[in-house]
Structure 1
């Protein structure tokens, strides 16, 4: 109906209210360049999860596997291929349709172009025409042949003479004819089985036909009922994109400001870190100066005390060595050694001449009164507040965007309610229910028609079965009742009945063979052409190519399907492409190529991402010129530190005195040597005195030298630290200030490029959410919304029912029945020949001089003489063979009379004398 077609179009048009989703390749993370001078790719857009569109589950499985009977179908297809091996005449059919669409009259077929088409068509149908001609000849010739055969037998010819000449090879002939008739009957039985299998297959598939009809109708209802929910789901998912955009707008500070901060921190933060390290160096410098001052005081005081102690101990030791005992020749060498080492027992370093660091320390104390760390922390804070600054500067823009998004959502909801989709689909469902009731009401009539068809086919088969029954009963009776010892005139009743049954089969074969062949020829021409011209091209989709041929129905109408559906034949929509899309269970929107009729982009520009919203996004501007990294007080502090005077300290003098050590000689070594020399002296007062001096010197080292060495070590570390700090200190401070100036210049003048770039990336991410939604809607319309699998299922189900259930069975029926008809001809010949060996003859070849010998079968041909007439008696009335003959042959006596196969008892009792020459 027309309204149903427009309902589908309206449904698909309404479904275009969705948008496009960002391709995964477009959403892939881009490589971020660490070098700020290079062009940076926009940041990746976070993928949104729109969930899954409510899927429709269809029940129809448009697939048919014939099973065992499929072998017969393949045989018939192979036979038809032999009859018609030509490929499908697509071009020929297209030409015929194009020339006949205007209505060609009979006289116009005489035109050359039409004659050529007719000849091409005859060439294509040559196989069918030849077979049909043979069938027609069979139908015409068989009754004529039957009439001639009957007339011939009535004149005792064509096997009608009730006389059999006896020959030597009679048994061979009988055996040959029996075997031939049995083989022919077996093949006829096979043909009957094939025919009955095809007949039964049609009735058996009626249930499957109903199943396919019911499931297809149910799928159409599912399609109609599920589509509104799918479209509503698409519309509702706009909220997902909207909420994500609102979330990003609420977090514009961390997102946009964080991106700007991240991009600029590579230039700004390292500069502040250097200045912060310089602030730490100031504190370390103060500590080092204090340590130098305290260490210097300790060393100056300690060195004076040490010098006094060492001088006193040296003088005491010298007095001890002046003892007369040291002049003894035996001990004088040891005393002399000790005496020569006394000159080394003195102090080495002199810290009293070193310049103090009080002035430098006072200058540093003055510098540290200004907290440079706190000043730098303010710079850090100012730079790290970029996200907050961005949020404050874009507050008005965010509120405006939120209002626009709410408006867009209301427009989409309002647009979805402009079309009465649900009522229209409800009416479509009602229409389907009414059509299903009409189809179901036709089921009883279909069953009745199928029953009549089945009865008719069985009746046709019964004719063949009747002939088979006569042949089989004739063979059984003739074979079982045949007696080699009996003469042709004395054959038994059972044998005679077998011969009569065979002749009855011949009669029925002549009567019905031409009728059966007429049925076969008709079904062959119809079924074969339907298979080759409809079913095969429908299976390989060649039929779609004919329908999709441009300008098929009219020279001004390019495509047939869009012209019928949309009244626009210029749309590039074909039945084949629509079937493929529906077969893959894609959406009806894509299958009908509705994008050529409804411009999604224009709709999206008016709704989801309008120009007003684009202008609002483009108006997002961020200014970070107010960021101050280092205040003037911090700058002055750095300059004051550079001129604090720590560079003028005599570090070399300090290091020179430190390197001299506390004493000229190591006191512990001196004590050890003193004890070694004392051990060389004789035991006594001198030895004890020297060891006492060694012990005193150790005490001096422990109590005075060791603390002084520790103070010297601390002084050395502090001096080296101050020396490193003061090394090129003005240059370092100048470089720090230059770097800070460069960073502030970047924030003030050159950061606008970074801000614009990051702002553009942020806006692109917001737009990307809308693109994801629109692309998701488009993909859903293509693959998930209104999936048109039921349409391809209807086509496939029609092919299954029409071709697999009906046409294949029809072709198998005439294939088997045609084989039976062809085999009836040799069956007639073999039955006529074989009946001569079973029927009781009126006369036989008998010589007078051999009348009492009983040897009737030897040398009867070629011997001349009078033959005696032989009378035979009929079977006893009570015999079983007579009852069988009467029972079987009585009903068909008019056929037997026509072919003169049955003889009455009166004619059998008649005495006949015949001279045989």
Structure 2
């Protein structure tokens, strides 16, 4: 069990190293950046822009929904497209009934208002209309104010409507040019999008260069990085084992030196004691005889110490170390310093050794990467779209060619509409100016007139301005109603027949229904859609981000996901890295002769020596009585003697003691101190010697056996980290390929975006302000009728009134006095 401790410690260190191991050489995979060079072929999505006229647009749409409540005329359109000559007028009138009613109203207005104008002119020529009031009543003021308020309100509504008409007309003009220009540009962009699919796919495939360069860069530093990782993770236990081995070697060397010191010093002390004992006995006899002499004064105090003047320690009794020295004879037979240096050098050479042993692996991985690039090229080679997009591309080119004449005509008619609308809106504003000026001058003239029968030039001028506005209204009303009806008929049908059914996708359903379109307009065949697909489903799939190959009719199915499976391109790399094994060399920390030296050291019997007896003898002094103390006592007694002979003998005895102390005893005390140091070192080392040597040998043997296995395990872990990192590069690239092909290069979404853009341009940006224009202009046109009525009625109130006597009890009038100044008549 005691021997298992070092093994468990080594295993714990190795397992702790493996548990804390991180993917050092691979590290986190970088995020690859791919440039997008296909952006110029995208169709930007257009959206309806919120406007301050949105409430007006909503009101116009509700009015059109009331006028045209019929659904999409499927039968009528089918007949018109397939057999135009068989279209019956009754069918058209039935569908356009709301517009027919509006046409009748417009025709009635166009005829009635000019006729009313001619009648009014005839009446004026006969001085029967627009003249003067013939009587003054109390209610004239109230009537005048009511007429002023009604005409002012009518003029204000007309002003707002005319302003909306001008703003809407300008918006139509502003949106028409870019809207019509977007048609051929969008068709060209779609055609280029289809034609450039092969180049786009090849561009996407060529971007494999990005992960390939990154992987090659990682491969360049893989072997050294793996070697450094192995070295870093195993360095702690390896250096600890080498340090422990160095300590045992140092202990062996020091123990040999101390054993030799103990052996030589003990023999020297024993020989010195043999020489010291007769001299010490002679000194004791002479000192005792002298101090016991009756002539020696006060010598009894030193007599006892002189009698104890004998050897203290007996170094002949210390244990012999010759047996241990004999067991260690010839050690160390190996050079531990060189052995440790070689083991350290072998371990430190692991990074360079890894570079050397993994060179062939790196070369094979580069070859695998080159073959992977050929497999990636197969994505472009097997992409089936170029042969199947040609019909759609030709259809788009034909549509772009045929649309140009119609677009030129649309621009021309829009220019005429804008000119006519601006002129007629300006006439309405001129009529409003006449009304406002007439009301202002008339009201001012009334305020300055003291007698209703008096002539007032400003009031007369106001009446004339009102009549000028009336004349302009009669003169241009038929032009206004014609422009309103023409724009209403076009814009209303676009809204109710096209836009409304475009939003709810009824148009797509009509196109998808077999037989609705003539064979020459079979869009599914022209666009080469799948047999089980139609325009509605293709539109939904394209809008959802489907690829062209998913909606076109291909001879054989093409599964992009199958082509973008990561294992298809990484199988060789994973297999080569997963099966790679290499020996990085055996790290020999302790050779056999060194192991034998340590085992001999542990069995030498160093721990069996009786260090207690050494300590007992070392604690005893060399001489029991202190020679310096006794010598100083004799010197003190010398001074107290009256007998010169005794004093001389005491002095001589003291000098002899000092000489013995300085020449013999002191040298032996130095040897005793030296012996004590060696014995103390050996006594501290001996109890733990066998355990330390056993632990060092077990740790070294276990580490030498486990280091290659642990290095191999770390190698596999590091290669696994590298494999996962490179797989992430492949995954990033293949995901980008799939996303780019579906959303950009071979995306069907531009077709759906183009259809949505067409609806936004035609319906939201052109039709809505167009309809707002005729609606606002129509309001102005129909408000001309109350404006004419209120203006004519108000004209009489601005002219002088003929006076008559008015009875308070009846409506009868009496002749009045004709004023001196008569009113001018138009």
Q: Give the equivalent residue in structure 1 for 2:86.
A: none
2:642 counterpart of 1:655: no
Quickly say closer, same or farther: Cα 1:245–1:188, change in 2 above 3 A.
closer
Q: Structure 2: how far apart are the matches of 1:38 and 1:244? A: 28
2:163 counterpart of 1:193: yes
Report Cα offsets for 1:127-180 as digits up to 9, x if no partner.
x99999899768757966886898799699997786532112423432442344
Q: Give the equivalent residue in structure 2 for 1:893.
A: none
2:819 counterpart of 1:846: no
2:66 counterpart of 1:76: no
Normalised TM-score (structure 2): 0.69
Q: Give the equivalent residue in structure 1 for 2:208.
A: 235
Q: Structure 1: how far apart are the matches of 2:671 and 2:513? A: 114
Quickly say closer, same or farther: Cα 1:53–1:465, change in 2 above 3 A.
same
Cα offset, 1:831, TM superposition:
1.6
Cα offset, 1:417, TM superposition:
7.6
Report Cα offsets for 1:405-446 as digits up to 9, x if no partner.
444445656876888999999xx9999999999999999877
**Contact map agreement 1:60 1:216 (CA 8 A) in 2:** yes
2:530 counterpart of 1:567: yes
Q: Give the equivalent residue in structure 1 for 2:8.
A: none
Report Cα offsets for 1:615-642 as digits up to 9, x if no partner.
5445434468987765554454444334
Quickly say closer, same or farther: Cα 1:146–1:294, change in 2 above 3 A.
same
Q: Give the equivalent residue in structure 1 for 2:15.
A: 34
Cα offset, 1:196, TM superposition:
1.6
2:733 counterpart of 1:777: yes
**Contact map agreement 2:165 2:776 (CA 8 A) in 1:** yes
Quickly say closer, same or farther: Cα 1:621–1:721, change in 2 above 3 A.
same
Aligned ranges 1:463-612 → 2 under 5 Å = 463-479=427-443, 482=446, 484-485=449-450, 491=455, 495-496=459-460, 498-503=462-467, 505-506=469-470, 509=473, 516=480, 567=530, 597-599=558-560, 601-602=562-563, 608-610=569-571
Q: Give the equivalent residue in structure 2 for 1:461.
A: 425
Unaligned runs of 5+ in 2: 1-12, 81-93, 515-522
Cα offset, 1:699, TM superposition:
7.2
Report Cα offsets for 1:226-278 as digits up to 9, x if no partner.
958953651323542552465367x2xx5666767777888887667655543
Aligned ranges 1:111-260 → 2 under 5 Å = 140=108, 163-204=133-174, 227=200, 230-231=203-204, 233-241=206-214, 243-244=216-217, 246-247=219-220, 251=223
Aligned ranges 1:93-104 → 2 under 5 Å = none
**Contact map agreement 2:564 2:738 (CA 8 A) in 1:** no
2:313 counterpart of 1:349: yes
Quickly say closer, same or farther: Cα 1:504–1:43, change in 2 above 3 A.
same
Q: Structure 1: how far apart are the matches of 2:173 and 2:77? A: 42
Which stretch has the larger CA shift, 829-838 or 696-705? 696-705
Cα offset, 1:451, TM superposition:
2.9
Three-state SS of the structure 2 residue aligned to 1:713 is helix
Report Cα offsets for 1:455-494 as digits up to 9, x if no partner.
1111331342343244234335534555735665x74566
Unaligned runs of 5+ in 1: 1-31, 106-121, 555-559, 848-857, 876-881, 883-901, 904-917
**Contact map agreement 1:166 1:860 (CA 8 A) in 2:** no
Q: Structure 2: how far apart are the matches of 1:419 and 1:186? A: 67
Report Cα offsets for 1:25-68 as digits up to 9, x if no partner.
xxxxxxx99358989998773456586323457699878998xx
Q: Give the equivalent residue in structure 1 for 2:517.
A: none
**Contact map agreement 2:578 2:720 (CA 8 A) in 1:** no
Q: Give the equivalent residue in structure 1 for 2:33.
A: 52
Cα offset, 1:602, TM superposition:
4.5
**Contact map agreement 2:385 2:549 (CA 8 A) in 1:** no
Three-state SS of the structure 1 residue aligned to 2:33 is coil
Quickly say closer, same or farther: Cα 1:864–1:808, change in 2 above 3 A.
closer
Q: Structure 2: how far apart are the matches of 1:473 and 1:397? A: 99
Q: Structure 2: how far apart are the matches of 1:695 and 1:54? A: 107
Normalised TM-score (structure 1): 0.64
Cα offset, 1:292, TM superposition:
1.6
**Contact map agreement 1:460 1:516 (CA 8 A) in 2:** yes
**Contact map agreement 2:147 2:793 (CA 8 A) in 1:** yes
Quickly say closer, same or farther: Cα 1:312–1:78, change in 2 above 3 A.
farther
Quickly say closer, same or farther: Cα 1:681–1:142, change in 2 above 3 A.
farther
**Contact map agreement 2:226 2:354 (CA 8 A) in 1:** yes
Q: Structure 2: how far apart are the matches of 1:693 and 1:100? A: 157
Aligned ranges 1:619-768 → 2 under 5 Å = 619-622=579-582, 632-664=592-624, 707-727=667-687, 751=709, 758=714, 760-765=716-721, 767-768=723-724
Three-state SS of the structure 2 residue aligned to 1:348 is coil
Report Cα offsets for 1:800-831 as digits up to 9, x if no partner.
64456424433443454344346445433422
Quickly say closer, same or farther: Cα 1:866–1:637, change in 2 above 3 A.
closer
Cα offset, 1:519, TM superposition:
5.7
**Contact map agreement 1:50 1:237 (CA 8 A) in 2:** no
Q: Structure 1: how far apart are the matches of 2:526 and 2:312? A: 117
Quickly say closer, same or farther: Cα 1:324–1:830, change in 2 above 3 A.
farther
Quickly say closer, same or farther: Cα 1:809–1:242, change in 2 above 3 A.
same
Match of 2:810 among 852, 858, 862: 862
Report Cα offsets for 1:676-710 as digits up to 9, x if no partner.
x7799699989999899888867766665555444
Q: Give the equivalent residue in structure 2 for 1:850.
A: none
Q: Give the equivalent residue in structure 1 for 2:269.
A: 299
Q: Structure 1: how far apart are the matches of 2:278 and 2:213? A: 92
Q: Give the equivalent residue in structure 2 for 1:830.
A: 790
**Contact map agreement 2:266 2:315 (CA 8 A) in 1:** yes
Q: Structure 2: how far apart are the matches of 1:449 and 1:258? A: 80
Quickly say closer, same or farther: Cα 1:258–1:672, change in 2 above 3 A.
same
Q: Give the equivalent residue in structure 2 for 1:23.
A: none
Q: Structure 2: how far apart are the matches of 1:65 and 1:828? A: 40
Three-state SS of the structure 1 residue aligned to 2:207 is helix
| Matched pairs, number | 773
Three-state SS of the structure 2 residue aligned to 1:365 is coil
Aligned ranges 1:342-491 → 2 under 5 Å = 342-343=306-307, 345-371=309-335, 400-409=364-373, 448-479=412-443, 482=446, 484-485=449-450, 491=455
**Contact map agreement 1:412 1:607 (CA 8 A) in 2:** no
Quickly say closer, same or farther: Cα 1:274–1:499, change in 2 above 3 A.
closer
Three-state SS of the structure 2 residue aligned to 1:806 is helix
Q: Structure 1: how far apart are the matches of 2:432 and 2:545? A: 54
Q: Give the equivalent residue in structure 1 for 2:519.
A: none
Q: Structure 2: how far apart are the matches of 1:647 and 1:739? A: 22
Quickly say closer, same or farther: Cα 1:485–1:716, change in 2 above 3 A.
same
Aligned ranges 1:874-885 → 2 under 5 Å = none
Q: Structure 2: how far apart are the matches of 1:822 and 1:347? A: 151
Q: Structure 2: how far apart are the matches of 1:820 and 1:828? A: 12
Q: Give the equivalent residue in structure 2 for 1:287.
A: 257
Quickly say closer, same or farther: Cα 1:38–1:680, change in 2 above 3 A.
same
Q: Structure 2: how far apart are the matches of 1:775 and 1:268? A: 39
Q: Structure 2: how far apart are the matches of 1:441 and 1:222? A: 22
Q: Structure 2: how far apart are the matches of 1:81 and 1:346? A: 139
Report Cα offsets for 1:706-752 as digits up to 9, x if no partner.
5544433332332243345444756665665555665666679xx4x
Three-state SS of the structure 2 residue aligned to 1:567 is coil
Quickly say closer, same or farther: Cα 1:476–1:870, change in 2 above 3 A.
same
